[in-house]
Structure 1
């Protein structure tokens, strides 16, 4: 019996910019079409993800991390993922928007411990307190372009924290140090630089990031490995391991299997336009 060809994904992603209050929203506009049903792997990243999807036929469900479905026309926020890659099942045709959110900005926006969001996607309206009811009312009449909608703009203007709240937060800057150094930073150095004990640093990271400093740094080190693998296919795994700060290929491969859920050599099998966009696009608000 002849095997049927694998389902293919039609994806287009573009960058958009919107000024809301004193924030610059850099967000992704997504168009997705899946003939049949497709499972997509999303390697972990060091940002929360705020997103909304619409479409008459589009269906999306997490296959791990609580196996929760994503309702259409609803804003979700994903916490950081502590284990392997995120697996999502998609079918149908839809469009939507996604924004990467710095975890410490997310903490000051949501005003909840980010450990409560770890390994989960949550409806934004359920995380917010008084503003949640307003968001549910807006979602009931959601247009395809929420960032161009005056009512949604007013909603975001209302919930965005004053920038001084996170700019004066040492954990915000500690996170930025990890990002800038691609995870190649020691916790002892971070605690010394930001004038706190390692125990306090860990407690503050669990509160405002959702993971320990070590676990968060590992996300960025492995993302750097994936960027090197995708951008430098001519390089050997030994060269990539060295560039990413690993002692040898064995350590890199073990981390990759444990934290990404497949081996470095299998990365090409899991690549498609959607997860490459997810990994590399600089969408964020700040």
Structure 2
């Protein structure tokens, strides 16, 4: 299995966190965990099925948006595959698709439903492109065009969303509201509008995401990892980890799970 990331062009760094590619010649089960950031996803080779709670499966989209999520999902494919993902900041949803991010929270929406013919055209172009540089060039051109169509000024809360992600979810709502000259109520309303989550839940998931990104790093104990992640005690850490991943952190960080297969 091959996984790697590609940074966006400088003018898109406030919209796109990075591009990622996942490819394999073998069958695979993918675990999607809680994440504050939505992803624009293109399956340029192969198509996954989503596994429901009762064990049944339904075909996933071939191109679409996996919205910011507090839930766990599983996907499977029985053959080779290739996926290109565009890891976005939460506020990108309203800028690129003209819908409130909350509409896509915990949802997976195909590109045609969001963009109609333009979505179909972009999916076809990405699928037919000869390589990843050409695919990324097509997607960046699309994002740039969509941003140029925006006439509204980007509100300060966009920067607050980025600040929480970069701080591992450890900035308080009170501090952010003061930083952006808003009352806490105004800040919370705007934050939910452009992120799809309350600031509290957004911060919890951001902290969880920072924690799972430490996979492969050497921590002497779960307690030390919990402290580094900003948790006050190990029980709180285990509770959040189980809620957002479906697994005990000891199991996850052992590497003996399909959830980390793409990282190894």
* Secondary structure of 2:79 counterpart: strand
8 Å contact kept, 2:96–2:143 = no
May I ask how many residue pairs the two structures share in their alignment?
253
Query: Which structure is higher in RCO with an 8 Å CA cutoff and minimum separation 6?
Result: 1
Deviations 1:32-79 (CA, angstroms, capped at 9, x unpaired): 2334xx432232233111111123xx23123359x753233xx31111
RMSD of aligned alpha carbons: 3.0
Please point out which of 5, 24, 29 is paired with 1:32.
24
CA distance in 1, matches of 2:208, 2:141: 38
Alignment match, 1:7: none
Name whichever of 98-107 and 134-143 sits farther off. Answer: 134-143
Give, in angstroms, the shift of residue 242 of structure 1: 1.5
CA distance in 2, matches of 1:154, 1:187: 35
Query: Would the alpha carbon gap of residues 242 and 123 (structure 1) be closer, same or farther in structure 2, given more than 3 Å must change?
Result: same
Deviations 1:206-242 (CA, angstroms, capped at 9, x unpaired): 221111111111111112222335312x421111122
- The answer to whether structure 1 residue 108 and structure 2 residue 95 are counterparts is yes
8 Å contact kept, 1:59–1:92 = no
Please point out which of 225, 228, 233 is paired with 1:240.
225
Q: How do residues 66-215 of structure 1 correspond to structure 2 at under 5 angstroms?
A: 69-72=59-62, 75-83=63-71, 85-128=72-115, 132-140=116-124, 142-144=127-129, 145=131, 148=134, 155-161=142-148, 168-215=154-201
Structure 2, unaligned runs of 5 or more: none
Query: Would the alpha carbon gap of residues 59 and 252 (structure 1) be closer, same or farther in structure 2, given more than 3 Å must change?
Result: same
Structure 1, unaligned runs of 5 or more: 1-10, 278-286
Q: When the two structures are superposed, what TM-score results if normalisation uses the length of structure 1?
A: 0.76
Give, in angstroms, the shift of residue 187 of structure 1: 1.5
